[in-house]
Amino acid sequence: MNLIKASFIDILMTLFIVAAVWSATVWMYWVIMVYSALILLLRLIDFSGEGFQGMLKQPRELPPDWPFHILYGLNILILLYAGWYILTAIWAGIWLFSWLKQRKTRARKAQMQAKAKER
């Protein structure tokens, strides 16, 4: 259930991207553009800012990473197929910063566990 709750918005956005590519409406393109730019900005802030992480309420158990990788990869393939290269680049950036943040979080968690074992 935690997995579905955590990836609900990403699933909706993937479905919206499919609908936008299929219907080729301009307003849907701009909704995706604004949403994607905001998400990229938030991912960049989250990755670069240590203090930002503390402002967010973090769940005790994080969902697995693979659903996000599948959805982001699918979004990139769909956007490439549509020829929306700017959006493709933005989603590649979202995917990159998400992956970098996951690595950073895992390294920090491993470091904290190592310190706890030393005590």
62-88 tens-digit pLDDT: 556 788 889 999 999 999 999 999 999
The secondary structure of 8-44 as a DSSP string is HHHHHHHHHHHHHHHHT-HHHHHHHHHHHHHHHHHHH
32-65 tens-digit pLDDT: 999 999 999 998 998 887 655 555 555 555 556 7
d(CA 39, CA 16): 15
Q: What is the pTM of this model?
A: 0.78
Q: Which two tokens stand for residue 44?
A: 């960049």
